[in-house]
Amino acid sequence: MSTMLEVKNLGISFGGLRAVDGFNVNIEKGQLYGLIGPNGAGKTTVFNLLTGVYQPTMGTFSLDGENLTGKNTLEISHKGIARTFQNIRLFSKMTVLDNVKVGLHNKVKYSLASGMLRLPSYFKDEKFLNERAKELLDVFGLYGEREYLASNLPYGKQRKLEIARALATGPKLLLLDEPAAGMNPNETAELMDTIHFVRDEFDMTILLIEHDMKLVGGICEEITVLNFGQVLAQGKPADVLNDPKVVVAYLGE
């Protein structure tokens, strides 16, 4: 197995606050990895560092052997890291289909002119986009709702659409920021199946932030616990979740 994501000593300070400090992680290709920690531990900050939203003040990270430290959001997206958001950030005024097509944006190369003049390449690209979008929406059972506005989808389906949109960018690594937030137990169970399916079907490496311990323990093969920006524990869920340090961080002494 080869390493997909290698993070070395990554950190960022906001003024005097070290939001993330010396974060290390190695994620194998095809692994389902969990990142947990109390509120404010710096989990989403790690995602923002890995997607170029913030630039790290220390450390490096590389994807599939390529150093991506210092690259901007767009470059990182093109290199193959895609994400979803803690607060859903779909293009709510666009249709379900168009949301996925925006994710597919880079898969076609047609120019402004061919779109305006409706050259044959435009129709060829549109056909490709529609087929690819259908495949993705079918995976999540959303194709029937493709003409709905994204904002009109029920909450659980919006979460799924966000994953579909992220997959559309053709990533090597998928970052899921609290995918089960706000879901009921049934939806969470279904989501766990979906995440497993995505990993197997797309041969995807997945790093997810989650508070739902059942989900984390159920699907993650390995987890890292962050507390106050630092790694508290790392390893198999069964070991880590029973680690006294972790229990203290979550529940107090």
Partner 1 sequence: MKINEVVSLEFLAQMINGLSLGSIYALIALGYTMVYGICKMLNFAHGDVIMVGAYMLSVAMGMLGLPPVLAILLSMVVCACLGVTIERIAYKPLRNASPLAVLITAIGVSYFLQSSALLIFGSTQRKVESAINVSSVQLGELTIGGNALVTLLLTIVLMTGLTWFINHTMTGKAMLAVSEDKGAAQLMGVNVNRTIATTFLIGSALAAVAGVLFISSYGFVGPYTGAMPGIKAFVAAVLGGIGSVPGAMLGGILLGLIESLSKAYISTQLADAIVFGVLIVVLLVKPTGLLGKKRTEKV
Residues that bind partner 1 (CB under 8 A): 51, 53, 73-74, 77-78, 82-83, 85, 87, 89-94, 98, 101-103, 105-106, 108, 110, 112, 115-116, 122, 125, 129, 165-166, 168-169
Please, which residue, 126 or 135, has the CB nearer to partner 1? 126
Residue with tokens 């739902």: 212
Count the Cβ atoms, other than its own, within 10 Å of residue 148. 15
Please, which residue, 115 or 185, has the CB nearer to partner 1? 115
Q: Specify whether the CB–CB gap between 161 and 142 falls below 8 A.
A: yes
Count the Cβ atoms, other than its own, within 10 Å of residue 129. 19
Please, which residue, 9 or 106, has the CB nearer to partner 1? 106
Q: Specify whether the CB–CB gap between 24 and 8 falls below 8 A.
A: yes
Residue 170 C-alpha from the chain's centroid: 12
Supply the DSSP string of 95-129, one letter for each residue: BHHHHHHHHGGGG----HHHHHHT-HHHHHHHHHH
Residue 73 Cβ, how far from partner 1 at the closest point, in Å? 5
Residue 239 Cβ, how far from partner 1 at the closest point, in Å? 33
Output DSSP code: residue 87: S
CA distances from 195 to 167, 205, 215 (A): 12, 11, 10
- The C-alpha atoms of residue 227 and residue 41 are separated, in whole angstroms, by 5
- 3-state class of 119 per DSSP? coil
Please, which residue, 116 or 251, has the CB nearer to partner 1? 116
Please, which residue, 75 or 203, has the CB nearer to partner 1? 75
- The C-alpha atoms of residue 240 and residue 29 are separated, in whole angstroms, by 21
Output DSSP code: residue 145: G
Please, which residue, 80 or 237, has the CB nearer to partner 1? 80
Residue 238 Cβ, how far from partner 1 at the closest point, in Å? 33
Please, which residue, 91 or 202, has the CB nearer to partner 1? 91
Residue 145 Cβ, how far from partner 1 at the closest point, in Å? 18
Give the chain's count of helices (H) and strands (E): 10, 10
Residue 112 Cβ, how far from partner 1 at the closest point, in Å? 6
Residue 88 Cβ, how far from partner 1 at the closest point, in Å? 9
Strands 222-227 and 230-235: antiparallel
Residue 116 Cβ, how far from partner 1 at the closest point, in Å? 6
